């Protein structure tokens, strides 16, 4: 029997979860693996890399303006960011390649998103982060730049807050 990589196992678990009833929060799949090397192009044209995430606990949130769940969870994503940002927490919202940049800019401005927003025009970033196709998909990255949890669909924000607090307390 062939040995499957942790990423392959996670994809199988995710596929099974989706077949059995939609969105699921997957824990343990990432095994605290290093976040993939990526360059995020922000709305202002500046760039941020995966290396820039180190030193903070960061939620990398793949989303789209056309995604109903993404739009519904965004106020909670904003609230979480505002609650923990002074303690070393950050959020990076990555708009999917199919999302028209003008829609992303309009959404960001009208909702006054307080964190960095990137546009993944080519889909390279989504591909690097496990071939993200379903939105919202979020990754919680620890201060060492390792993915500690992946969420497909809206996270349980109470549990997310507990995990953020635990990760912020780590040195």
13 pLDDT higher than 70: no
Going by pLDDT thresholds of 50, 70 and 90, the confidence category of residue 171 is confident
- What average pLDDT is seen over the chain? 87
The tokens of 49 are what? 């890399």
69 located within any domain: yes
Mind listing the pLDDT tens digit for each residue in 70-121?
999 999 999 999 999 999 999 999 999 999 999 999 999 999 999 999 999 9
DSSP string computed for 101-167: HHHHHHHHHHTT--SEEEE-TTSHHHHHTT---SSSEEEEE-TTSEEEEEEESS--HHHHHHHHHHH
Adjacent-strand bridge partners of 146: 34
Q: What is the pLDDT of residue 82?
A: 98
Q: How many percent of the chain have pLDDT more than 70?
A: 82
51 pLDDT higher than 50: yes
Domain holding 75, by residue range, is: 25-169
The tally of domains found in the chain comes to: 1
72 located within any domain: yes
Q: What is the pLDDT of residue 32?
A: 76
Q: What is the pLDDT of residue 77?
A: 98
137 pLDDT higher than 70: yes
Q: What is the pLDDT of residue 88?
A: 97
DSSP string computed for 25-74: EEESSSTTEEPPP-EEEBTTS-EEEGGGGTTSEEEEEEE-TT-HHHHHHH
Going by pLDDT thresholds of 50, 70 and 90, the confidence category of residue 31 is low
Distance CA(83)–CA(149), nearest Å, equals 19
CATH number at residue 43: 3.40.30.10
128 located within any domain: yes
17 pLDDT higher than 50: no
30 pLDDT higher than 80: no
């Amino acid at each position: 029997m062939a040995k499957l990589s942790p990423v392959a196992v996670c994809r199988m678990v995710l596929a099974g979860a989706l077949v059995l009833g939609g969105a699921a929060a997957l824990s343990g799949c990432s095994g605290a693996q290093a976040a993939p090397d990526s360059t995020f192009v922000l709305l202002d044209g500046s760039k941020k890399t995966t290396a820039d995430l180190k030193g903070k606990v960061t939620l990398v949130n793949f989303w789209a303006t056309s995604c109903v769940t993404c739009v519904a969870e965004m106020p909670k994503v904003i609230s979480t960011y505002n609650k923990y940002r002074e303690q070393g927490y950050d959020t990076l919202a990555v708009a999917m390649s199919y999302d028209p940049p003008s829609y992303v800019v309009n959404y960001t401005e009208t909702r006054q998103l307080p964190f960095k927003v990137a546009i993944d025009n080519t889909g390279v970033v989504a591909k690097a982060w496990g071939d993200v196709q379903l939105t919202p998909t979020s990754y919680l990255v620890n201060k060492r730049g390792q993915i500690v949890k992946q969420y497909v669909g809206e996270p349980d924000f109470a549990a997310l807050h507990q995990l953020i607090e635990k990760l912020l307390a780590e040195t």
